[in-house]
Chain A
Amino acid sequence: MSAADKVYGELIGPIEDRMMRTVARIVQDPDDAADAFQNALAYIWKNLKKIHRHPNPHGYILRVCVSAAYDVLRHRARLSHREASIDMELHLAPDSPEHPTLARETVQRIRNGIASLPRKQAQAVLLRAFDNESFEFIGKALGCSESTARSHVSKGFARLRQILSGLDPSLAKEIAQ
């Protein structure tokens, strides 16, 4: 087996599905997701040696994917903020859950919430929320201690709760349907 095959087989192969899903779940929009995925792969290419030596290379790669997706969210959040300030009609009142566009609006608020978190908190929250990764795994992926990872997750969720405090939790079910 060639070194290239070994590198791919060790680093990327076992998690390629997770990489794709992670980016797609966060970004949602197919075009943006494909771009974010390309960006993640470009970063991995550039830092292959570092990743190869990393104590948790899979965690690191997933973090890179989360980070690339997060960049898209942030970019989109800035855009939507600008657009919303131009067109106030887009802003819907939170007390009309039956309105079909509300789900989209709510999803957008959640994504904006994620985008407003500091990068490491966002990465920690998403790794925890999607794959229920252990704090040890997250810590190694983020290059910090387990307790710091715990703190990132906890602070991230607390901040998200604060951001989403106006949101009716029962909507989660509705959005999921």
Chain B
Amino acid sequence: MTEDTSKQEETIRMLQAAMKNSLGENLEDSMRASLRQFRENLPDHPFVRRLEAQEGRTGAFSLFSPKRLVWAGATLCMFGAVIAGFLLGNSAPTWAEVVERFKTISFFNATVYFKEDALSEPTQFELWMGRGGKARLRYGNQVLFAEKGKVRKAFHLEARSEVDPDRMASQIIEKLGASEAFSLETIIQSCAGDISAFQPVPNEEAALSKEMAVFDITNSRTPEWVRIWTLRESKLPMRVRFWDPRDAECMDVFFSYSQQQPEEFFDPNAFEKKLTGPKLSPENLAYALLKDPGGRPVTPDDLFAQSGYHVPVVEDVGIRSDGIVWVVAGKSRNRRPDGYAFEGFAELQDDLGREYIRKQGPHWTLEDRSIDLFIPLDYGKEPKTPSILNFICKVEKHARREPEEVIGTVEVTDWKKDTPWPEKLMGKDPWNPLITLADHLFRENNWKRLEELLAIIPGDPAEDKNALIREQIRLDALFRQEQYDKVIHFAEALMPLMKERIYETPNRSSIAFERYLVALVIRGRTEEAKRYLRELTTGLSQERQKVFDEWMLGFLAQSLSSQAKLMVEEINDFLGVDIRTDKRIEHFSSPDWQSYWRQPIYASWMRRLQELANHYNDNPLPERVELLERTKSEDYKVCTNIIPGIRSHYVDAVGPTLGDYLRRFPCKPGTLRIPDDLASIPLNYDLVYAKDTPVREWIDFVLNHLDLAITETQEEHTAWVARYDGKPLKNWKEVGDPSPETSTHSRTTMENLLNSLAIDLNSELSGDIRIIIDDTGFPSQPHEGASWEDAESWEKVWISGVIPRWREQNAFQSARDWFEKEFGVTFTMQTRPVTFYTLGNKEH
């Protein structure tokens, strides 16, 4: 129990003691009398009377069904009566005529807005109804399809899957779907009670236009009213308003009429195909298959279908004296089918083969004009003059795996020479593009060129913002190169200039300060860093505190883990927070804590880890391994093997059965033989092991505890031998994904790919073991005992960025095709000596 909790409980005890339950007899009598009076008066309460009126007519009264939806249904249905009334002129129609005329409408669309009271935000939903009682409703992030008042399917636009229909949306559908099945009288009664209260009365005061007729409907028991605006000639209602004067609760319904939408618009299966097909944005999905009666685009997809891509028009081109190319383009904006827009040209090539990086300038929407700068990568070296410039327009990619798509190229041979870019378009800061280039060189870790470039940018950091950025890039580069003493030195020199900017907005000064703190921690000056952080976060204004909370805190916590290698407890101490529970830190990833571990499914394992940590507070850690029986039998979802506060030992969950546990046995997939009766032995232990103990030792320890052992035998067995045919390999990032729905996206080695294949193949087989032997010669690690931190060496070992699953029919044939196509790896069957591992009772 924490000190706070204990103090809180103590206060609760005092409160409870001081405020004893003292409901004396007299007081109870008096209170019960008040309750009786309250109950007796309740039938006269306006709200209860309204409920009573509804219940009396429909028999569908439910205390917790929102009244507004009842009215939403009422108002939407009621328009039928109104239509009928007005279609037949100003003379009062009979109900039979009303119902008959109502049936002649083939399709309508209604957009509904409703508000709970004067101050609440309106909620919108859209409804389309067609012949045959077919309806489609967009309510929040759901699209529902219904027929005759029954929801057939509901889909979630963001989750892109079928879901249970929203309760309120279902109610609307049920009410409206009834319009075919019930008479108009029934509909109105079901919506609002006494039918005599729903006779429309012309309201000439509200209809100043001759084309418009306005009618009011009032209710004899409650003060709400409904007003209907309708076109006099076509007799169609355009708008219906419901109003409750007691709290300004209101609902507006806007109708539009057109030809029936195509059948597929109301077909949930056609919609589902769209949902599971090529990825569409929610905007596209919400209105998928909807045809605008005027042929106007409704979705980004429609917009794209009309316009497609186009190459921007080059309006003006020039090259500055320092070699920076600028281009002004008209008709600059392109839009992807998913609605994202991009402008201008993405790339520049010249006849000298020079490389450029792009600095995108602003886009003027009204004129659809943009400006792009292209800075030569060899900026500052001997200037060369190209004679041809090729501006390339490409579709802007939003994901690494999207294919490259060139829209077109514009060749330019004539341009303004030694001319600065138009100031009115881009401003006149001449050094700013060099910052873009410096950032590029920084990302490429090209330290020599970076320093050459930074040396060109002039100015005093105290007076020139570009010069300050220059120094901050230097500091960042030193940090990246792990020159922490220099980082500290640099940061201390810059602090007077940066101090005020750190929490102004997320900016380079914030990053530089973070680097400084982390460098201090790495150099063992943790207390100093902590003190400095406290000093600069004390008394922050609300806006600055927000920058710290929402932006800097999370990044600093992450850097303290990944750069300074602090454990979570140490980071908590440094920052004065608990990153395990602090909601400001949404994304955090370290060996001993990940944000997603907060999910309830991991709670039992987290509790168990804490139990183990507590256990080792009082007991010594084992020299090698130790098996601890659990005190509870829970469903443990293991997410980490780190025991809080312990660096030297890890924990391995042992269970729920021996068969499950032995999945980690280090052998080729398919070579471990476990008799069924042993595989099903239940286990409820945790194995705590010292850092350097091998997996085999843990397993042998557990088996020994159970009086079991594994014996090894060599047998001649058929095996699929994988060989590499020498085909040039593509970059691991470009390896194709044969099954995007099921694959895991992660860097991997050939050995892993083959093991994964063998595991999948053997999981589907009974008895027929498929052994795969790796004779490809691809390395599994850079060198013996290679560290994961040596990213550069590992980069040479990775062979794929995707690990496919092979579970479908003919999986092995699909796998063979994929291995051959992507890597030139083929499989042949051979008989080879294979080591098998058999679990059995220990021989004493």
Contact = CB atoms under 8 A, between A and B. Distances in A.
Given A157-B8, A167-B14, A110 B19 contact: yes
- The listed residue with most A CB atoms (<10 A of its CB), out of B15, B30, B32, is B15
Nearest to B51: A3
Contacts of B15: 110, 114, 125-126, 129-130, 160
Nearest to A153: B8
Contacts of A2: 43, 52
Interface residues of A, number: 51
A109 B24 CA distance: 23
Interface string A1-26: 01110111010100010001101111
A100 interface: no
A19 to B, nearest CB: 8
A16 B21 contact: no
A4 B28 contact: no
A20 B31 contact: yes
Contacts of A149: none
A147 interface: yes
Contacts of B45: 4, 7, 45, 48
Nearest to B32: A20
Given A4-B52, A107-B18, A110-B18, A172 B34 contact: no
Contacts of B61: 3, 6
A30 B42 CA distance: 26
A164 interface: yes
A173 interface: yes
A37 B14 contact: no
B423 interface: no
A115 interface: no
Contacts of B11: 129, 157, 160-161, 164
A3 B63 CA distance: 8
Interface in B11-31: 11-24, 26-28, 30-31
> Chain A: interface secondary structure?
helix
B38 A175 contact: no
B7 A161 contact: yes
B583 A111 contact: no
Interface residues of B, number: 45
> Chain B: interface secondary structure?
helix
A128 B21 contact: no
A106 interface: yes
Contacts of B64: 10, 52
B35 to A, nearest CB: 6
A176 B12 contact: no
Contact of B21 (A4, A10, A21, A44): A21
- The listed residue with most A CB atoms (<10 A of its CB), out of B11, B51, B52, is B11
Contacts of A157: 7-8, 11-12
A10 B30 CA distance: 22
A169 interface: yes
Nearest to A9: B63
B47 interface: yes
A12 B32 CA distance: 12
B277 interface: no
A38 interface: yes
A41 to B, nearest CB: 5
B10 interface: yes
A147 B51 CA distance: 35
A101 interface: no
A48 B28 contact: no
B576 interface: no
Nearest to A6: B63
B17 A175 contact: yes
Nearest to B43: A4
A2 B40 CA distance: 12
Interface string A109-147: 011001000000000011011100000000000000001
Interface in B148-203: none
B415 to A, nearest CB: 59
A82 B577 CA distance: 43
B458 to A, nearest CB: 51
B520 to A, nearest CB: 33
B66 interface: yes
A173 B35 contact: no
B52 to A, nearest CB: 4
A34 B22 CA distance: 12
B31 A8 contact: no
Contacts of B583: 147
Contact of B22 (A25, A53, A147): A25
Contacts of B43: 2-4
B18 A30 contact: no
B30 to A, nearest CB: 4
A111 B12 contact: no
Contact of B247 (A8, A34, A49): A49
A129 B20 CA distance: 12
Given A45-B38, A49-B247, A147-B583, A37 B31 contact: yes
Interface in B317-333: none
B667 interface: no
Contacts of A52: 47, 63-64
Contacts of A154: 4, 8
A28 interface: yes
- The listed residue with most B CB atoms (<10 A of its CB), out of A4, A6, A20, A126, is A4
A130 B38 CA distance: 25
A62 interface: no
Contacts of B270: none
A111 B19 contact: yes
Nearest to B38: A41
B619 to A, nearest CB: 34
Contact of B23 (A24, A41, A45, A128): A24
Contacts of A128: 12
A72 interface: no
A44 B42 CA distance: 11
Interface string B413-457: 000000000000000000000000000000000000000000000
A30 B26 contact: yes
B400 interface: no
Nearest to A25: B19
B55 interface: yes
Nearest to A42: B38
Contacts of A3: 43, 48-49, 51-52, 55, 61
Nearest to A125: B15
B21 A25 contact: yes
Contacts of B52: 2-4
Contacts of A24: 21-24, 27, 31
A16 B35 contact: yes
Given A24-B21, A41-B34, A52-B47, A4 B39 contact: yes
Contact of B27 (A34, A114, A176): A34
Contact of B34 (A28, A34, A126): A34
Nearest to B247: A49
20 contacts: A3-B43, A3-B55, A4-B42, A7-B45, A24-B22, A37-B30, A37-B31, A44-B38, A45-B41, A48-B48, A52-B63, A53-B116, A107-B19, A110-B18, A128-B12, A130-B16, A147-B583, A157-B8, A160-B11, A176-B20
Given A24-B24, A107-B19, 11 more contacts: A7-B51, A12-B38, A12-B39, A20-B23, A24-B31, A25-B19, A28-B19, A30-B30, A53-B66, A110-B14, A157-B8
